[in-house]
Chain A
Amino acid sequence: MSRPKVAFFDFTSCEGCQLTVVDTLQTHPELLDAVEIVQFREAMTEKGEDYQIAFVEGSCARKSDEERLARIRQQAQIVVALGACAHLGGINAIRNRLPLEAVVNCVYNENGDWSETHPYGRPRLSDRLINVEPTAKPIEAIITVDAILPGCPIDREEFARVTRQLLQGSQPRVPDYPLCVECKFKENVCLFQRGQVCLGPVIRAGCGAICPTYGESCEGCRGPISNPNMDSMQSVLAEAGLTADDLLSRFSMFGTYQMMKLE
């Protein structure tokens, strides 16, 4: 059987999801016998442009990204959004609520133009912002996506499973039910019982409830389930002394793009 050719691409992201892929290649080396990786900047120098499956990490945040994504879409038979930035827009989209100038000031502060990476700093490249899109987007806003691997970062076992399903020729499936399912399987103490607040009841499972398992509340990196009961979630939060705004501000970490679309 010929091995499908696979390429990895990075857009605006921390590349942590690709690192998880590198990790997965170490725990599942047989994956390398099943596919031929032709492009993966994080792990190799070669850059093959002949591929069937494209894994795309990162959100679309620069004007030039759209064209690059379109080229990937044109070449690949299957495009997979790898991680929260590509899937949701993610953390990059937090800046969508602010004018770019304000974002620059927020990151570098007003006296930060001594920094070489400051868009207006030394060397003064006042046109550096020209390529920045005012809105960071999930790749789905630009091209059709065939499968998602949610999370910040992605889950290693889920990456392996989705890849096997792609090799099998079946539509990859990731959970579309609340995180509470996996949290209960682990017999964790419900964080609401501890007086903490958690987005678990409306967020997609698949991570093994890793944050609540270590006592941290779910921040929604895998995005909302398709049919969340937001009214009931608000009542649950109200009981914990929180309002709809508190809920939305928690969502904004990974879900600003989705929230702004609903407004």
Chain B
Amino acid sequence: MSLRVISMDAMGRFVASSRSEYRVVGPKPLHGQYIFGDVESPDDLHLNYTQTVIPPKKYLFPQREELLRFKSGDGEIEPVFDAPPTILLGLHTCDLHAIRLLDRVFSSGHVDQHYRRRRDNTLVISIECLRPCSRHSFCKSMGTLSATDAFDLHLTDLGAEYTVDVGSEAGEALLAKHAKTRRATDDDYQRLNTALAQKWPHFPYRLDFDVSELPSLMRTSYNSPLWKDLGERCLACGSCTNVCPTCYCFNVQDEVDFALSAGRRVRIWDSCQLDEFATIAGGHNFRKTRAERQRHRFLRKGQYQTDAFGLLGCVGCGRCAQACLAHITPVDTFNTLHHERSGGAARPKGGAA
């Protein structure tokens, strides 16, 4: 829409002012790592962070969420919505791409009202990544190193100032009400272009093939011997999916009170990597082995999501590779499959410095 410029100081005042209307969450340091948490003052702003443990999806799709309350006597059912007006501040572009996918998933077919309510009450302010955040990230290979259309405002750090790309009317209104900005000049455009041009060489391509080939690669890799190897290494701990910005599987449980007269229905994050995930009534488990579950995970990332929603299920953030004690990484997995298909040898990169 338009490009504005905001100073670092004005950015702090913008956060302070927005807090009168919104819960503002952004990256914060915790024990040497970063997590998304409440930004309570401008001093809490750490927009030059590396990567958070869990992606910001936890504000749109919480780990544990009450869906409804019921009474057993008269059968009364009340939906529960807890969707405070929220600003997600400082999202990296991988996480922005992930939200774009979640938007499609939760809004297609049977619309998820709980996700939708939160999303509609959320403004997303993303930030351009100028340096790689982790040795495991491979956003450039996945095409997620630039912003996509899911943002309301998008920042680029120019040193003493940020440019602010306005992506929506809601974003524009937020700026107008809470921030002191100025219209970008030709010089600002020039500085922005320079910053963007300079950033790309800092990011390595880590896939040995073009990402547009990924869905077709996965389609022919169902019987690869690689899955057995991954199955032998996988601890089935679910860390990969719990830190994944695009994973959204959940379990639904009813919790009743001691008098058995009323209760609540909650959903909690689940993981396709856990033993019991695909166990159905009668006790049959249709993905019993860790190998089958890892295969399922990677096929979802590389093929199923594209088939169903037109977007890849992996945004290249590398969080799963960082979290995996057994060093199972998407880069190594995808490259190994590529080289199996093309006859070459894969060069391990997933754990490379």
Name A's B-contacting residues (CB within 8 A).
Answer: 1, 28, 30-31, 33-34, 161, 163-164, 167-168, 176-178, 180-181, 184-185, 187-190, 192, 200-202, 225-227, 229, 231-233, 235-236
Interface presence of B43 (CB below 8 A): no
Interface presence of B35 (CB below 8 A): yes
Name B242's contact: one of A167, A184, A200, A201 (CB within 8 Å). Answer: A184
Evaluate contact between B33 and A233: CB separation under 8 angstroms. Answer: no
Evaluate contact between B53 and A184: CB separation under 8 angstroms. Answer: yes
Evaluate contact between B235 and A232: CB separation under 8 angstroms. Answer: yes
- The answer to whether residues A231 and B325 also contact, given A167-B260, A187-B30 and a CB cut-off of 8 A, is no
- Distance A77 CA – B272 CA, assembled complex (angstroms): 35
- Distance A200 CA – B237 CA, assembled complex (angstroms): 9
Q: Provide the residues of chain A in CB contact with B243, threshold 8 Å.
A: 184
Interface presence of B31 (CB below 8 A): yes
Interface residues on B, range: 20 to 34
A–B Cβ pairs within 8 angstroms, 28 of them: A28-B258, A30-B259, A31-B258, A34-B259, A164-B256, A164-B260, A167-B260, A176-B276, A177-B238, A177-B276, A178-B236, A181-B237, A181-B238, A184-B242, A184-B323, A187-B30, A187-B33, A187-B35, A187-B54, A188-B31, A189-B33, A201-B237, A202-B235, A227-B236, A229-B232, A229-B234, A232-B234, A232-B235
Most chain B CB within 10 A, of A184, A190, A226, is at: A184
Name A180's contact: one of B32, B35, B235, B255 (CB within 8 Å). Answer: B235
Evaluate contact between A192 and B237: CB separation under 8 angstroms. Answer: no
Q: Provide the residues of chain B in CB contact with A164, threshold 8 Å.
A: 255-258, 260
A33 CB, nearest partner CB in chain B, Å: 7
Interface presence of B290 (CB below 8 A): yes
- Distance A153 CA – B273 CA, assembled complex (angstroms): 28
Evaluate contact between A226 and B275: CB separation under 8 angstroms. Answer: yes
Evaluate contact between B237 and A178: CB separation under 8 angstroms. Answer: yes
Interface presence of B271 (CB below 8 A): yes
B263 CB, nearest partner CB in chain A, Å: 9
Evaluate contact between A178 and B235: CB separation under 8 angstroms. Answer: yes
Interface presence of B233 (CB below 8 A): yes
A194 CB, nearest partner CB in chain B, Å: 9
Interface presence of B274 (CB below 8 A): yes
Interface presence of B63 (CB below 8 A): yes
Q: Provide the residues of chain A in CB contact with B249, threshold 8 Å.
A: none
Name B258's contact: one of A167, A176, A187, A233 (CB within 8 Å). Answer: A167
- Distance A97 CA – B325 CA, assembled complex (angstroms): 32
Evaluate contact between A236 and B232: CB separation under 8 angstroms. Answer: no
Evaluate contact between B238 and A180: CB separation under 8 angstroms. Answer: yes
- The answer to whether residues A177 and B232 also contact, given A161-B255, A236-B325 and a CB cut-off of 8 A, is no
> Across the two chains, which residue of chain B brings its CB closest to A177?
B274
> Across the two chains, which residue of chain B brings its CB closest to A161?
B255
Evaluate contact between B325 and A192: CB separation under 8 angstroms. Answer: yes
Evaluate contact between A184 and B259: CB separation under 8 angstroms. Answer: no
Name A235's contact: one of B30, B33, B236, B326 (CB within 8 Å). Answer: B326
Evaluate contact between B242 and A185: CB separation under 8 angstroms. Answer: yes
- Distance A1 CA – B259 CA, assembled complex (angstroms): 9
- The answer to whether residues A227 and B275 also contact, given A33-B259, A184-B53 and a CB cut-off of 8 A, is yes
Evaluate contact between A189 and B31: CB separation under 8 angstroms. Answer: yes
Q: Provide the residues of chain B in CB contact with A227, threshold 8 Å.
A: 236, 275
- The answer to whether residues A232 and B30 also contact, given A28-B258, A180-B235, A184-B243 and a CB cut-off of 8 A, is no
6 new A-B pairs (CB below 8 Å) besides A33-B258, A236-B235? Answer: A167-B258, A178-B238, A181-B274, A184-B238, A184-B323, A190-B325
Evaluate contact between A187 and B260: CB separation under 8 angstroms. Answer: no
Q: Provide the residues of chain A in CB contact with B236, threshold 8 Å.
A: 177-178, 227, 229
Name B32's contact: one of A33, A176, A189 (CB within 8 Å). Answer: A189
> Across the two chains, which residue of chain B brings its CB closest to A185?
B63
- Distance A75 CA – B238 CA, assembled complex (angstroms): 41
- Distance A185 CA – B238 CA, assembled complex (angstroms): 10
Evaluate contact between B326 and A236: CB separation under 8 angstroms. Answer: yes
- Distance A218 CA – B53 CA, assembled complex (angstroms): 20
